[in-house]
Structure 1
Amino acid sequence: MNGLPASGTSRRTLLRNVLALAAAAPVLAACTDDGDTPAPSASGGGDDKFPGVALKVACNPTSQQACAEAGKQWAALTGGTVTAEIIPYAERATSYASWIVSKDASYDVLYAGVDFISNFGDKIYLDLAKLLGDTSDFVPAALGQLTKSGALHAAPLFADMELFFHNKKNWAEAGLPEALPGTWDELYAYAPKLAVGNREPCVVPWNNNGVPFWIAFFNSTGGQLFSEDKSQLMFDNDKGLQTWQAIARGFQAKFFGTAGANAVGDQDTSLLFNQNLAASQINTTGFGSTALSTDPAAKSVIGKDDLGISPLPGIAAGTSGSVIVAEGLGINKFGKNQEAALSFVKFATGAQFQKQLVLGKAGQVLPSSRLSVSRDAEVATSFPFAAALAEQAKAQLAWPGNAPFKWNAPFLLGLTNLSKGTWTPEQAHEETINAVKKLMIAQMGA
Structure 2
Amino acid sequence: MIKGLSKFFTAIVQKFLPDPLVFAMILTLIMFISGIIFTGHTPIDMIGFWGKSFWNLLAFGMQMALILVTGNALASSPPVKRILQKIAGVPKTPAQAIMLVTFVAAVANIINWGFGLIVGALLAKEVAKKVRHTDYRLLIACAYIGFMTWHGGLSGSIPLLAATKGNPMEATIGLIPLGDTIFAPFNIFITVALIIILPLMTRMMMPKDEDVVEIDPALLAAEAANETSTDTITEKTFAVRVENSRIIAWLIGILGVCYMVYYFMNGGSMDVNAVNMIMFFAGIILHGSPVSYMQAIVDGAKGTAGIMVQFPFYAGIQGMMDLSGLGGMITSGFVSISNTHTFPIFAFLSSGIINFFVPSGGGHWVVQGPFIMPAAQALGADMGKAAMAIAYGEAWMNMAQPFWALPALAIAGLKVRDIMGFCVTTLIVGALIFGVGLALF
Q: Does TM, scored on the shorter chain, surpass 0.5?
A: no
TM-score by length of 1: 0.25
TM-score by length of 2: 0.26
Higher helix share: 2
